[in-house]
Structures are given as C-alpha cells and as structure tokens.
Structure 1
C-alpha cells in the first residue's frame, strides 16, 4: 500500500506551501511524456513480458491520440492512469506525491526531515485487530493485514502476533477468521497461517511465476501444532484482496475452510512499486500465482463464497454454521446444551422473533428489576450492570451478550406475569417472584 505523506510544522503555512508546490509541479508535468514513463515501467517489470509490452503499447497509443492531454494536474493524471490500467490487472495503481524539497530556512538533517516514517504495521498490531472467544466457544480473529516477516529473523514481531492470536483461541471448538477488511500483505504470512490448519507438507500452496523464475507460498517453517479438524470459517467481502484472497483460495480449494460472505476483489498478482519519475510511482505485478489444486488463480474473478451473504451478516452466519457443525459432532451433553442455546439465540435474532408487550414484564422481582431502554427489554440484578434481553418466544428471553444465560417469565392462572426464572446452560437456576 502507498505510504501516507507526513507533515510537520505550523499547519496553515504548511498546507499553503504544499498547495503551491503541488500547483507548480502540476503545471510542469507534460501528460504525454509522463505516460511514456509509466508505460516504460510497466514494460520493464510486468511479470509476463509479452503482456507487459502489449499493455505499455496500449498506453502509448492512447497518449498519442491525446487521451490524457487535458490532465495537467498530476493527481488527475495518476487517477486516470489507474482507471485505465486496473481492469487489466487488479493490482495496477499509479500514484503521485510531491517530490521531496527542503522548506525555506530548514537545514538538511533537522529533526523534521529526519523523522522515521510511521510504522503502520506495528501500530496496527501486525494486522491482528481483535481476538476473542464468542459464546458457544467459537474463536474469532479479526485480521486486517497479512504482515510480513522473515523466517530467519529472531523473534519477528508479526509472527509472534499471529501466534499469540492463535494461542488465545487454542481451546475453541470452532474458528472464524474475519478477512472482510483485509486488503492483503505478505505471502510469508499466508503460508505460515495456512500451515496452522493443514497437514505439514501439504501440496496446496500457490506457486508464483515471475520473470526471474518461480517461488512457492509454502512456509519456510511450519506452524508446530496445526488444528486439522477444527471447523474453520473465513469471512470475506469485496474489500478482501491480494494475500487475503490467497489465504481464502488456498484453504477453500484444499477443502479446509468454508468461505462466508461475498466474492472477493479478484487481485491475485503480487508486485511492487516502481519510480516513474516526477513524483509518479506505479504498482506493477511482478508475479502471478498458480494453485497446484486448481491449476489457476483468482485474478479478475475473485474467490466465490461457499455461503453467500451480505458482509454485514457474515459473522452471525458463520457462527451459526460453526455451532451446527459442533452439534453434529455429538459433544458431551453440557457442551451440547450450551452450543444449542447460543445457536437458538442467533437464529431468533436473525428471524427478529417478537415477544409479548414489554409492559407485561416491566417491574420489580425482589432484587431483580426489569425495564426498557433503547427499545429493548433489560434485566438488572441489584447493583450489577443491566443486561439486554433478546426474545426467543413464549415468554423466554436470552441475555443478549451471553446467550448461555436465559430468563423465563412465568404467568399465573389469569395470564399475568408473576415471576421470572434465570437459567444457565450449565443447569443453574434462580426464581424471583414479582413484587417479592
């Protein structure tokens, strides 16, 4: 991904100077000569030499016809070139940024000019956004990047981050890895994370074909304790791209994971940025993967989901699939009850189950109070924080944040709510009389 430009100094003056610099650079740019520079970069570095030359010749022909002549602002030219190239390879991108220049009165080597660039990978915890165990013992990892690491480096932080995430869900009965906001990253991380769920040495990894030869996405070092039988679900969206697609494509075609969500971006070919002169840089695909399972890749097509749902519903759908898979395995009775209760709560939430009027339930039940907030029923026991209740039907509710807990309201002979009972999937129960 392009690096963000960092600025220092008084902001109004700085933005004014940057605007003047950008305008001056824009006026100096000749669109035809700049397109020629971009075309040369594509021809020199695209993974398929013949195809690279064809793409470059097409750019040159467009420039000769005057297609880009009106685009004297380099930002507009960069956007137009990206739009022209992106349909030919989803990784193509042209960007422009002002070339470095010393601000008036600033000496080279001063703190503002020598400040290190922002380490976005470290600040993003190497892609690991969130890790938790969801009700029903379903592990969840929200992974926003496949951060790079060197297998030969001592204690690489990106590798340690993903290992820590896997350790936190080591006792989960099923796993969900969320790739809906993951735009890609490093093949090294793809191979290593895939090895956490597949047999050592499995012939499932993409082989990248480049001008210099071929390389495999198989890891140089395998995850030591792979989970081969744990149900695994991958969440995808149209934002899921590149290395994230490689991970989903590999595990889906190996029969190891179920992909839930929508078709991914379709950007298969990895590459790098190259200088095209005058502040222009071009991301060019320098390799193309081939799966040993399918004999092809996902460029342009994306990875199709096994279960197609809108991205917003992907997590709840995957959780239900995971709980169903767990129950099909016939777990011990106590675990089965817990999983079934959570599954029933998720299904009720998806179906928007109705309840009797809230007025039937509102009131005091000894130390327990039932009321409403934000259109939902809640229960509060003493000074404890209130817990929202989700209707399951027939005067039965689940605790929204913990569906392994339920509340059942009891009615008297005249149909009025007279008591409530709190229930736990482990068999715990307490009864509270209304007004008692």
Structure 2
C-alpha cells in the first residue's frame, strides 16, 4: 500500500505551494475576528483533524481554557496572534503552525478559481527545479546531489516532471563509486519522494518503510510510505552518505531516518529538526489558517519515529564540515575495497588533496615562481597559481614539499624537480593514468 498523492503533506510543502502568493512587503493588518473567536476555531480544527484523537481533544480543551483566562486577549494584531499560537502549539508537535493572510488580498481557497492552489504548487516546483539544487561528480568519482525539496510525484503520469527530475538525477549518479545525498537545507516535501528515493538504494519490497497512521473524516487509517512504483534499477551496494542539519525537516528527515534504520546509509551532520508528522492546512476564520498534523509515521525497524527528537547522525559533524567528512569517508571506503588501476589512484589522490586542504603543507612560494617553457608559476593572493598561455589561471594546493595539484582537479599533479644546487630546475605534470609532460625552468 502506498500513500495517496497529496493526501499527506509536510508543512514545508505547504509553504512551498504558497510562495507565489506572499506579498513583497508586509501590509497593515485588516480587521480580524477577536482573539477568542480565532483560538476557538483553531482548537476546533485541531480537535477534528489531529492524528491522535485523545491528544487532539486534550489540546483543544487546553487552548479553550487558556482563551477563557485571557491569555490571548492582548494580541490585537492578527500577525502577532498567529505567531503566539504557533509558538504555543509547536511545543506539542513540530508541524503545528498558524498563519494569517489578509482575506481582502488573499481570498480563502474555496473562493479562488478551482485548481489554483495546485497550479501555484506546480509552478513553484518547476521554478525550484523539483528540489534539485546541485548535481555533480566530485573528485574520486563521488556522486553528489544537493536536494532542497522532496517533490510530489504523480505515478499515474509517465511524463510527470518531478519524477523525471529525480530519475534524471539518479541516472547521472549511476556511474559513481559512492553517493552523497545532501539534505542539510531540505525542509521536507512529499512522502511520495521519500519512498521512491529509498527504493533507489534498497531491495524491492524490503520491510523498511514507515507506516503512517492518519485521520480523515473522523476515521483512523494506516498506509505505508512504500512507493506506488519502484525505482527500476536500484543500486544496492554503492556506499551511500546522507548529510543532515538542524534545518533538515519532515519528509527529508523521513528519508534519512529510513535509510539509516535499514543500515543502508551513513548519516553525517547534526541532529535534525524533529518534525515527523505530516498533515494539511485548515481554515480558522478571518484569514487564519492552521497547519495540523493529520498523520504520524512508525518505522517497522525502530518501532518509533523522530518527532521532537530529530534524526541522530551516525557521525557528528558541524554542518559546514559535513560534506568534507562524507567525502573523506567515501574515499577511504573506496580505497579499502582494494580496487586497482587509474580509478583507485584517482581516489587516493582525491583523498590526499582533501586532507591537504584541511591541513595546508608549509612551503616557500618563492622557490617555485618563474617561467617553465610555456608554463608560468605566479603568486596571487598568497597562493601559487599556474598560468598556461591564455587559459584561466589555476590555483595550486601543496601536497608535499615540491608536490602540488590543481585545486579544482586533483587528477593532475605538478612535481618540481631540483638540481644539484638545490634550486628548482623543472616542472613535471603527472596524470593518474601515467601520462604527463616535463618543462624546464
């Protein structure tokens, strides 16, 4: 069983779909219903829709009690009331949030043209490239995908652009010797993407997918996060690393949590946001809307989820350093596999370059400056640069005394040769495939 399309949405996905409708600057608030009437409608929306009926009733009663004591009476500005309610409710569930939009400028959904919200979402998803921010091959043949949103997928549509974007990304990673999936800036999205991406790295029908208990129309149901269609050519053995941070939320957390629980990926970074429960927005009158978690996942391996706790990384790292930590571990694993030939040498050179960048090797720049036939070594901004005719200059990284590589391509090394007098006399370029050239000074 799989999750129905758009039945469950994370709050990040709702924000994404509303991005086009936000005003460029804050406008003076329009008159709204009194705080007590608003809080009562928020409480009613929670009571009707929150995934746990007992907690829903208890929370709704608490809100009404707080209202009766005058806790929210001072919030004359509807924006301040929305913020206060969001802060109050987030203590109960990380997805709770109350928003206010001037109804004179932003009509409620039932007053808009039918289908407009989905059209807004589709356009925002397209302009965001369906979450794909960066896709590249890092030195050592490491595939890197920076994914900022988990897009909604329509498995019934063979030409669904979101699925085609994910498929294209996975296809371009197919030749990588290790893969790094960067979710540090991913606030969530659709559970459909979670199941589909998990299936790209795990055996078909593996019992690893979160099962959602959700509430609709007063009834409780359950559904699996397993995809409606499985990725056709999963990579079951490729080393996989997932980067997370405190900004990683919701469906992005589900992706990291599922792969980690299945022991399929190494999670690197800091503890994630801790928002497990997806849901939807509900009207609360006078321009107010409240996001309520209508579902909650349970992982079949851990028996729990990450709500309030976040995904705990396997390897702690500052977010800014998480990528380099993953790169080093991936390269070490590639080398530990015992491969030979050019690929193995490129991986070793990439690892040595990464370590040299972290701990620069001391060198005397003046020793190397000068002309080497058509090549020239200059100093620029405290770094050595290689100039080759009209080509753009390339910065060098010192690996050892007299041994350097290009900062953007560790596959090419430069070894400086010294004469009997100890002075540098020649420059030799070296490639991992054994080729190279020598230039006299």
Q: Does 1:23 align with 2:26?
A: no
The aligned residue for residue 361 of structure 2 is 354
1:73-116 Cα deviation digits (max 9, x unpaired) = 0111111111111121011111111104599xxxx999xx99x6
The aligned residue for residue 282 of structure 1 is 290
The aligned residue for residue 385 of structure 2 is 378
The aligned residue for residue 374 of structure 2 is 367
Query: Could you say what secondary structure the match of 1:4 adopts?
Result: helix
C-alpha displacement of 1:200: 0.5
Residue of 196, 200, 213 corresponding to 2:200: 196
Q: Does 1:40 align with 2:44?
A: yes
Query: Could you say what secondary structure the match of 1:406 adopts?
Result: strand
Residue of 109, 134, 141 corresponding to 1:137: 141
Tell me, in whole angstroms, the C-alpha distance in 2 between the residues paired with 1:196 and 1:109. 39
Tell me, in whole angstroms, the C-alpha distance in 1 between the residues paired with 2:244 and 2:29. 40
For 1:12-411, what aligned pairs fall within 5 Å after superposition?
Answer: 19=27, 22-25=28-31, 28-101=32-105, 117=120, 119-211=123-215, 212-351=220-359, 353-411=360-418
1:156-177 Cα deviation digits (max 9, x unpaired) = 1111110000111111111011
- Please tell me whether the aligned partners of residues 29 and 78 of structure 2 are also in contact (alpha carbons under 8 angstroms): no
Query: Could you say what secondary structure the match of 2:437 adopts?
Result: strand
State the TM-score, normalized to the length of structure 1: 0.91
Tell me, in whole angstroms, the C-alpha distance in 1 between the residues paired with 2:304 and 2:212. 11
1:184-233 Cα deviation digits (max 9, x unpaired) = 11111110110000001100000001233100000111111110000000
C-alpha displacement of 1:357: 2.1
Tell me, in whole angstroms, the C-alpha distance in 2 between the residues paired with 1:101 and 1:270. 28
C-alpha displacement of 1:374: 2.8
C-alpha displacement of 1:7: 7.7
Tell me, in whole angstroms, the C-alpha distance in 1 between the residues paired with 2:302 and 2:251. 17
Comparing 178-187 and 388-397, the one that deviates more:
388-397
State the TM-score, normalized to the length of structure 2: 0.90
The aligned residue for residue 428 of structure 1 is 435
Which residues of structure 2 form unaligned runs of 5+? 1-13
1:31-68 Cα deviation digits (max 9, x unpaired) = 12111111111111100011011111221222222221
Specify which structure has the bigger relative contact order, considering alpha-carbon pairs within 8 angstroms and separated by 6 or more residues: 2
Query: Structure 1 residues 257, 421: closer, same or farther in 2, change over 3 A?
Result: same
C-alpha displacement of 1:354: 2.6
- Please tell me whether the aligned partners of residues 29 and 102 of structure 2 are also in contact (alpha carbons under 8 angstroms): no
Tell me, in whole angstroms, the C-alpha distance in 2 between the residues paired with 1:171 and 1:328. 19
Number of residue pairs the alignment of both structures matches: 416
Query: Structure 1 residues 381, 31: closer, same or farther in 2, change over 3 A?
Result: same
- Please tell me whether the aligned partners of residues 198 and 226 of structure 1 are also in contact (alpha carbons under 8 angstroms): yes
Q: Does 1:4 align with 2:19?
A: yes
C-alpha displacement of 1:409: 1.6
Tell me, in whole angstroms, the C-alpha distance in 2 between the residues paired with 1:407 and 1:261. 34
- Please tell me whether the aligned partners of residues 149 and 159 of structure 1 are also in contact (alpha carbons under 8 angstroms): yes
Tell me, in whole angstroms, the C-alpha distance in 2 between the residues paired with 1:197 and 1:247. 11
Tell me, in whole angstroms, the C-alpha distance in 2 between the residues paired with 1:168 and 1:424. 25
C-alpha displacement of 1:411: 2.1
State the superposition RMSD in angstroms: 2.2
Tell me, in whole angstroms, the C-alpha distance in 1 between the residues paired with 2:112 and 2:280. 28
C-alpha displacement of 1:323: 0.8
Which residues of structure 1 form unaligned runs of 5+? none
C-alpha displacement of 1:254: 0.4
Comparing 58-67 and 317-326, the one that deviates more:
58-67
Tell me, in whole angstroms, the C-alpha distance in 2 between the residues paired with 1:154 and 1:429. 48
Query: Could you say what secondary structure the match of 1:176 adopts?
Result: strand
C-alpha displacement of 1:413: 2.8
Tell me, in whole angstroms, the C-alpha distance in 2 between the residues paired with 1:7 and 1:160. 28
